[in-house]
Amino acid sequence: MFESLTPQPADKILEIMTLYREDPRSQKVDLGVGVYKNSEGQTPVMRAVREAERRLWDAETTKSYVNLVGDPAFSEALRKLVLGPNFDASRVSAAATPGGTGAVRLAFDLFHMASPKGTVWVSDPTWPNHLSILKYLGLSTRPYRYFDAATRTADIESMLADLAETKAGDLILLHGCCHNPTGANLSGEDWARVTEVLSKTGAVPMIDIAYQGFGDGLDADAAGLREIARNMPEVVLAVSCSKNFGVYRERAGAIFAITPPERQGTMQGTLSYLNRQTYSFPPDHGARLVTMVLNDPELRADWEAELADMRTGMLDLRAALAAELRQRTNSDRFDFLAHHRGMFSRLGATPDQVHAMREQSGIYMTGDSRMNIAGLNASNVPILAEAIVAAGV
């Protein structure tokens, strides 16, 4: 039977990880892998998470299953963080998932059940796992324009023109703050315009958000998402706790489905059904740590303070890199780096230039020149700037 299987395409990020690991140069710089790193190049356990884990170690008395859709306290705490404390809970159905990707997979399964002949619209670019899952499920997809490669900003006019072609029964995959791999975010006005267009076409928005708190602050980063949730009758959210709580390996995430209150019961039952068919009971450890941090005033204050330090550190690195490149090129063409938010920016280099930076300077990033700003520190910012100029970007 298994002789019919064929080799699957290699994961490009894993390829970069392997090349980086095998590179003997001491000044090599890893900007490919999408995890937060501090100035020492480590992905730390956040202070509040560590303290919550210590408390849980002392208090936990069982490892039994919790609930088919996870602990309701987790969903409630995360709902308030993402949607705000005053959002109408009677409109929200929720299920804990194995990380944000688990939530994305469940969202696509939900769409397939509800609208099997519909189309999933995805931004150009989007994350490879989105396209891979959609292809695996056999769902129809169409791209919409998002990024202006010349200005390195969100191309809102082209995006709106494409979204105007959507229709009822379609799902529109949108990126929350800091989530698009380009680093270019929609403004508050842009989110309002997207909401207006989708309200007219009847398509349902799905927002993938994993970096709340990495841009301009917890509430500011959720403002666009909340705009859509308030004004659209149906919305799907895929939420990850991996980045802003640093619980990557614990796989803590959730799917939220927003509907009119009279459909909430059916939707909640459907999410329970999908969890049961996919992995039965979701993991609890990371979700419980997140719940403890969000519900304990002392832990939450410490988490928010550390998250703010992470955010401002990345903003400082962006400003430093933009300034270094301005000095070396006597040009402002890289100032977009200081205006992007979150961990990622698309540099605008060609694949050949990316290859040259890797071979000549030990700079590792994806072939489309997406780089992880959190892979930088004060000592390697000049190294990267020199490599960018030397490659002719």
Catalytic positions, written as ranges = 127, 208, 210, 243
User: What are the distances in angstroms from CA 286 to CA 60, 264, 269?
Assistant: 13, 26, 24
Nearest partner of 183 among 215, 227, 225, 158, judged by Cα: 215
The count of C-alpha atoms lying within 13 angstroms of the C-alpha of 374, restricted to the half-sphere facing its C-beta, is 25
The one-character DSSP state at 203 is P
User: What are the distances in angstroms from CA 223 to CA 84, 184, 207, 316?
Assistant: 9, 16, 12, 23
DSSP 65-134: ---TT--HHHHHHHHHHHH-TTS-GGGEEEEEEEHHHHHHHHHHHHHHHH-TT-EEEEEES--HHHHHHH
Alpha-carbon distance of 263 to 307, in angstroms, equals: 36
Cis peptide before 7 (omega within 30 of 0): no
E-strand ranges in 176-287 read 204-209, 235-240, 252-258
342 Ramachandran zone, left/alpha/beta (phi>0; psi -120 to 50): left
**Is 30:364 a contact under the CB 8 Å cutoff?**
yes
**Two tokens, residue 126:** 């989007």
